[in-house]
């Protein structure tokens, strides 16, 4: 309802089928942020997924980056933990 105050400080929203939602977010660190509808049929076939690329300088006052990012190789990552 438009008379209901907006919910704040949430990470996950439940939006009923046939309904719509809107969110405002301020990205405070650069990086790749993903929106994904957890109904994967809608996410893949209907485009209910998005990537937001945020540029700018990293702010160590918000979060300290202790290890530099590296490329992920799906063919070899995690093989040492398989039975």
Reported as a single tens digit per residue, the pLDDT across 26-64 is: 999 998 998 887 788 888 888 888 889 999 998 989 988
For residue 6, CA distances in Å to 1, 9, 33, 35, 63 come to: 10, 10, 23, 20, 28
What's the pLDDT at 42?
82
What's the pLDDT at 29?
92
Query: Does the structure show a pLDDT above 80 at 68?
Result: no
Whether the CB-CB separation of 37 and 43 falls below 8 Å is answered with yes
What's the pLDDT at 28?
92
Q: Would the pTM of this model clear 0.75, i.e. be above it? A: no
For residue 16, CA distances in Å to 13, 19, 20, 28, 52 come to: 10, 5, 8, 29, 24
């Amino acid at each position: 309802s438009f008379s209901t105050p907006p919910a704040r400080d949430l990470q996950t929203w439940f939006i009923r089928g046939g309904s719509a939602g809107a969110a405002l977010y301020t990205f405070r660190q650069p990086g790749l942020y993903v929106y994904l509808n957890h109904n994967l049929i809608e996410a893949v076939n209907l485009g209910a997924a998005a990537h937001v690329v945020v540029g700018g300088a990293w702010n160590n006052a918000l979060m300290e980056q202790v290890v530099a990012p590296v490329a992920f190789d799906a063919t070899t990552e995690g093989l040492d933990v398989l039975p």
